[in-house]
Amino acid sequence: MSISELRVGVVGAGMIGADHIARLTSTTAGAVVSAVIEPDEARAAAAAALAPGALTYQRVEDALAAGTMDAVLVATPGQFHELVLLPVLEAGLPILCEKPLAPDPETSWQILQAERKGGRQLIQVGFMRRFDPEYRQLRQFIAEGSAGDLLMLRGVHRNATVPDSYTQDMLINDSVVHEFDVIPWLAGATIRSVEVRYARRNELSPAHLREPILVVMELDNGVLVDVEMNVSVQFGYQVATEAVFQRGVARIGQPQGMQLWQQGRFQLEENASFKSRFRAAFDIEVQSWADAARRGTVDGPSAWDGYKVAVACAAGVEAMKSGRPVEVNLPETPSFYVAAGA
């Protein structure tokens, strides 16, 4: 059985939520926003105005009771994810949950239990890099093996600036979190250890931040990874990866687009934020999720992927504080997730 038009309830109508409401309405085929769940009434009304016909609710339980949703997109802050996910899992609806699954490994584990109880996978976690065309191309290239074994991955994640509210731990939990998901996915391997090294501090960074940092990871297949995490580089937004193989090197995330010669220089515009860098990735992610939800399946990063990232983040924060390598210890993959090929 397949749903012809997926009625999506969006929980959380902040910046990210509103963005998804606009996307689902104007860009995603086969889906409409039927419900906006948001306790702040003004914000709810503003967001619902983006989606003709959408009803507003204050709590997800109300929307579930009304029976107006076929699927749910969760865009609240991470600390509220569990509260939203549990009733939706109980109702058996497919979910796209913005990253992180939950703020810590323990809560993530609780969510896994709740999903498992329902007997089938319902959660996709919003690690949108997996849907970026270049990341996909690189992953396919690694898997094909035409350049031999993958030996190293060398990455950069550079933001122009961050607000004062951005904390030291967010370097790991908000930013490197994407690498913790996408690197194992690229390399077909698991993170074994994490170490964090400090570069010379950028004086343009908020006073409470000590960055950039270099995150060094070892994977269980021997691949070594180093990622520059830099949130104050001023010039723009850049996420790039270089993959070193036995017989070659591949690189993604390089500047593209219209070329301009002006004022003594050849120039390409760099991305200004993740919104332009990952616009296609977000669009493909949501389309892909909606397509799978209409078929009754999940094919993106699972709750188990979300759990593994939560464990890596905890290790990453400890590594950043201690200055020492920290092991990443994972339980065996539960058979519930193995079966699904997650």
Give the residue, chosen from 39, 40, 45, 53, that forms a contact with a second copy under the rule CB under 8 A: 53
Q: Does 261 bind a second copy (CB under 8 A)?
A: yes
**Which C-beta is closer to a second copy: that of 261 or that of 341?**
261
Instruction: Put residue 293 in one of left, alpha, beta given phi > 0 → left and psi -120 to 50 → alpha.
Output: alpha
Residue 254 contacts a second copy per CB under 8 A: yes
Q: For residues 178 and 316, give the distance between their C-alpha atoms in angstroms, rounded to a whole number.
A: 12
Tokens of 305: 């992927």
Give the whole-angstrom CA distance, residue 325 versus residue 133.
33
Report, in Å, the least distance between residue 203 CB and a second copy: 6
Binding mask 306-335 for a second copy (x = CB under 8 A): ------------------------------
Residue in 14, 25, 110, 334 binding a second copy, rule: CB under 8 A: 25
Exposed / middle / buried, residue 191 (Cβ in 10 Å: 0-12, 13-18, 19+): buried
Buried b (16+ CB within 10 A) or exposed e, 312-323: bbbbbbebbeee
Q: Judged by CB, which is closer to a second copy: 50, or 342?
A: 50
Distance CA 165, CA 326 (A): 27
Contact between 26 and a second copy (CB under 8 A)?
Answer: yes
For residues 50 and 18, the answer to whether their CB atoms sit within 8 Å is: yes
Name which position in 267, 273, 297, 322 contacts a second copy (CB under 8 A).
267
In angstroms, the Cα distances linking 221 to 133, 176, 191, 224, 341 are: 25, 21, 9, 9, 19
Q: Does 272 bind a second copy (CB under 8 A)?
A: yes
Show the binding pattern over residues 147-186: x = contacts a second copy (CB under 8 A), - = does not.
xxxxxx-x---x----------------------------
Q: Find the binder of a second copy among 106, 169, 269, 327 (CB under 8 A).
A: 269
Comparison of 22 and 86: residue with beta carbon closer to a second copy: 22
* Contact pattern for a second copy over residues 183 through 222, marking x by CB under 8 A: --------------xxxxxxxx-------x-x-x-x--xx
d(CA 63, CA 201): 48
Look up residue 10 and give its two tokens. Answer: 């969006």
Nearer to a second copy, 42 or 204 (CB): 204
Q: Compare residues 116 and 136 and give the one whose CB is closer to a second copy.
A: 136
